[in-house]
Structure formats: C-alpha cells, structure tokens
A and B are shown apart, each in its own frame.
Chain A
Amino acid sequence: AQSVTQPDIHITVSEGASLELRCNYSYGATPYLFWYVQSPGQGLQLLLKYFSGDTLVQGIKGFEAEFKRSQSSFNLRKPSVHWSDAAEYFCAVGPPSGGYQKVTFGTGTKLQVIP
C-alpha cells in the first residue's frame, strides 16, 4: 500500500533563512508526487508536482522539490523564506495516470516563520 511520511510535525525558521521540508514515500513503482500548501482557514493549493523527467521541479512561490528515487524522498525547499510562507504543507503520492487514482497525503508539516 502506498504511504507518505512527513517526519517533522512543526518547523520554525527565521525570515530569510532557507527551508527544507522532508517527505518520504512508499510505493511500488514511480509515483506521482505532490506538495500542497494550506493557509489557515483555507483549502489546499498545489505548490508543485513530479510526474516524470527532470527530478528537480519548480513550483509556485519560489519553492522547488527534488525527487530522489534511491531515498524514496521528495523534499521541498526554498532558499529564503518569507513571513507569508507560514502555513501547513502536505506531501502526497499517487499512482501514474489511468482511471481513478487514489492520492495519499502525509500528516502535514506546520511552518512557523519568525522575524
């Protein structure tokens, strides 16, 4: 069964510092991988996705993520965090396309940004 682990429940960084949020997945083949962001009181917004090809993917708001097959990881990074990045971040995994695809979400990492 597919699964996603986000080992960090809560992370605090200073504004302007770099950020890395960890995500490990379990899946039998190359999955589709996603990062979503959820601001307080809002729904989830897609930050970026990996389907195939270049393992370093760029997303919105200056975020990027790198797919490492050997480590079953898809970590999210940002070189310089802004106060507006404070939110909860969810990693998700789903199978390649073809009919209905069940997407499994991690439990989320809550990011706090301090001045």
Chain B
Amino acid sequence: NAGVTQTPKFQVLKTGQSMTLQCAQDMNHNSMYWYRQDPGMGLRLIYYSASEGTTDKGEVPNGYNVSRLNKREFSLRLESAAPSQTSVYFCASRGGAGGQNIQYFGAGTRLSVL
C-alpha cells in the first residue's frame, strides 16, 4: 500500500548541476502534480499532468521540466540548479470514487542548492 513514492528524500546540489526527482503512484490515478513548499508560502504548483501523455505549467514552472513517463510515473527535472530552487518538493496524484478531487501526497524531497 505504497501510495505516492518520491525519490530521493534528500539531495544537495551545487549551482548549475542537474538532477531528476522521481515520483511514482500505484493508485491508478490519471492526474499527477509537482509542488514546491517554501516557508510562509504554502504549496505552489510547478507542473501538472492531467493524464498520461499530457503536461502543463503551473504557477512557478521556470527552471523546471517534467516528463509523464507512463501512468504511474511523473518526474521533475532541474536542468541547471539555482539557489532559489532550494525547497521541499512534493509530488501528488489525484483520484477517488465519483471523480472526487482528492490529492494524495508523497513524503517529499528536500533539496538544497549551494
């Protein structure tokens, strides 16, 4: 009963390095999301995927790219990390009986960019 699994849990990067955050869900949900969480700012949507094969920008997409590899997996890539991307990143998927809009979250990836 894994739900939403994110890897890695922690990561430290140097400015300019690249990395990919992985997310997988086993609930057969169509929609998946990437958020970042910063103190005092709540959760801000980076990118989302309404269904397999589609992706769209959220509120703060600059500096990020995403791939919806299949229905289960939705990855977030930082091509050239910047200190402003130091944050906690959460992946979520959405589903529920009758089309209910319930999001299920992973445990997060804590990223520091030096």
Contact = CB atoms under 8 A, between A and B. Distances in A.
Contact of A105 (B4, B43, B102): B43
Given A42-B107, A42-B108, A44-B90, A103 B42 contact: no
Interface string A11-37: 000000000000000000000101010
Main secondary structure of the interface of A (DSSP, over half): loop
Interface stretch (B63-71, B77-85, B92-100): B92-100
B42 A108 contact: yes
Contacts of A106: 42
A100 B101 CA distance: 9
A53 interface: no
Contacts of B41: 107
A94 to B, nearest CB: 5
A107 B42 contact: yes
B108 A101 contact: no
Chain B CB count within 10 A is highest, among A32, A94, A95, A102, for A102
Contacts of B48: 100, 102
Contacts of B61: none
User: Which range contains the number of B residues in contact with the other chain?
Assistant: 20 to 34
Contact of A94 (B40, B98, B101): B101
A46 interface: yes
A43 B109 CA distance: 10
Contacts of A99: 50
Nearest to A99: B50
A49 B102 contact: yes
A45 interface: yes
A32 B50 contact: no
Contacts of A101: 94, 101
A97 B31 CA distance: 13
A74 interface: no
Contacts of B31: 100
Given A43-B90, A99-B50, A105 B100 contact: no
Nearest to A45: B105
Contacts of B99: 97-98
